[in-house]
Amino acid sequence: MQISLIHVGASLKSGDSVNGLVEQYLMKSSAFKGCVSEFFRTESQLLEWLTRQQGRTAPVAVFLDSRGRQLTSEELADWVRTRRDEGSQHLVFAIGPADGWSRDALARAQLVLSFGKLTMAHSLARLVMAEQIYRISTILTGHPYHTGH
């Protein structure tokens, strides 16, 4: 399964230390075929990209939003495991625009996920999601990184 971590908004600044940490977590996520980080300036560009993605299965979209479901790391890993076992090839985690996702975008998501009611900067949300992708990878492979605390 391929993983894409996407954000909608301003382009990433090269040399940003947060971007380096995001890339480190994604590179370490060995349970997945490949993990990439991308950005789109607008929500509509992201939705068009999702539509164009080719593969045996359509990409599974997870949109991060404070109005979404709150899951533990284990629950999220189980959700990812189920998608993998159903044959999904591409999982997309997307952090939305500053003014939030439109109804059309939320309707496109298979899961709307929340880190809680906190508002945080895109770069921080990307880092948290990258760490969770790595954590999911370790849960799925039985690596001792995740101890459940």
The region of weakest confidence among 27-41, 72-86, 87-101 is 27-41
Side chain identity at residue 50, one-letter code: L
More confident residue, 133 or 144: 133
pLDDT for res 45: 96
**Residue 4, H or E segment:** strand 2-8
pLDDT for res 17: 82
pLDDT for res 118: 87
Give the tens place of pLDDT for each residue, 14-43. Answer: 667 888 899 999 999 877 888 999 999 999
| pTM of structure | 0.92
Cα–Cα distance, 46 to 43 (Å, whole number) = 5
Neighbours of 123 (CB within 10 A): 20
**Residue given tokens 């940490």 in the structure block:** 21
Which domains, and CATH codes, for the chain? 2-141 (3.40.1280.10)
From the list 108, 113, 118, 96, the residue with the least C-alpha distance to 42 is 96
pLDDT for res 149: 61
Sign of CA dihedral 122, 136, 36, 55: negative
More confident residue, 121 or 110: 110
From the list 35, 53, 50, the residue with the least C-alpha distance to 101 is 50
Residue 126 pLDDT greater than 80, yes or no: yes
Could you tell me which residues come within 8 angstroms of residue 74 by beta carbon, excluding any fewer than 6 positions away?
139, 148
Please state the rounded mean pLDDT for residues 69-93.
Answer: 96
List the structure tokens of 46.
């992201």
